[in-house]
Copies of this chain bind each other. A is one copy, B any other.
Amino acid sequence: MRAKWTDLALEAQGSAPVESERLPCGIERTVVRITTHEAQQELGRPMGTYVTLSCPQTMTIALDMRRALSCELARAIAEMLPAGAKTVLVTGLGNRSVTPDALGPRTVERVLVTRHMDGCLPDDVAKRLSSVCALAPGVLGVTGIETAEVLRGMTGHVQPDAVIAVDALAARSSGRICSTIQIADTGIAPGSGVGNHRKALTRQTLGVPVIAVGVPMVVYASTIASDAIGSLVRADGGSEDDEEKLASCVSKVVSEQLGDLIVTPREVDALVERMAGVLAQGINMALHPLLEADEIEQMMAQ
């Protein structure tokens, strides 16, 4: 049972240093740095920097806020890209046919791909473009091939300077769904994502820096069940210790039935489309800093 599972470093409780600031646009920007082996163990995720952007409202994010999220995402990615990166592979993880899991594939569909245009563009445009390629490799159950296998093959061939991997996440708190973006310079390690244990996508396995961009789209039903009990115990004046004891108790009761069930907003189809737009815009801005937003939109339409 995935009680209390989260893919967000911010939600993992631990002693790693956390900096938080509220930006003028209303976004809360938090940075968790895992710098020691102890913190790595404690938080259950690799050493590195985890930037989290979250906006106050959920479900229907205002247009201005979405633009601000794209800009902040672009800034966070730009800071993690290796200096002078010329070629970048963007990959959308997850299953295109499972709505909340389709965030990655839907995002890469909107990324401005330019690697194949070499030599076909006017010079004044060409010199302002990076070389970007994009791939949604599908999931193991659909292809029979590990995502990491496909990407190892591709990075070996394309030899990018960095990989950006976009994925749907699971959060601990339902308030995080579709209102939080996590950007990490750690790549993606097994056990992350919406229930898929796939092999790691990291600098170690792919040979180049891997920037992970993720947005929580679901909470596990078992987390909700566990939280209900926590709320109850606290309302009763119980302590954290009691909660742990109770959770373990419930775990036995609800495990099987709730194992694979997820909690999402009913409007998740529309939320995925909109968030894919926010992510793609941020990625396009980060990878083509010399293009105007209108130029990018125009090139996408061709």
Seen from chain A, the residues whose Cβ lies within 8 Å of a Cβ on chain B are 60-63, 97-101, 109, 113-116, 131-138, 140-146, 149-150, 152-154, 156-158, 174-175, 194-195, 218-219, 221, 224-229, 231-232, 235-236, 246, 249-250, 252-254, 257-258, 260-270, 274, 294, 297-298, 301-302
Q: For A97, A231, A249, which residue has the most chain B Cβ atoms within 10 angstroms?
A: A231
Q: With a CB–CB cut-off of 8 A, which chain B residues contact A302? A: 60
Q: CB < 8 Å: which of B158, B235, B260 contacts A253?
A: B235
A236 to B249, CA, bound (A): 9
A231 to B258, CA, bound (A): 13
Inter-subunit contact B250/A274 (CB<8 Å) = no
Q: With a CB–CB cut-off of 8 A, which chain B residues contact A219? A: 261
Inter-subunit contact A270/B97 (CB<8 Å) = yes
Inter-subunit contact B261/A263 (CB<8 Å) = yes
Q: With a CB–CB cut-off of 8 A, which chain B residues contact A157? A: 145, 149, 152-153
A250 to B235, CA, bound (A): 8
A109 to B261, CA, bound (A): 24
A60 to B174, CA, bound (A): 28
Inter-subunit contact B97/A116 (CB<8 Å) = no
Inter-subunit contact B224/A297 (CB<8 Å) = no
Contacts A154-B153, A266-B101 given; indicate if A224 touches B227 (C-beta within 8 A). no
A100 to B261, CA, bound (A): 13
A3 to B100, CA, bound (A): 24
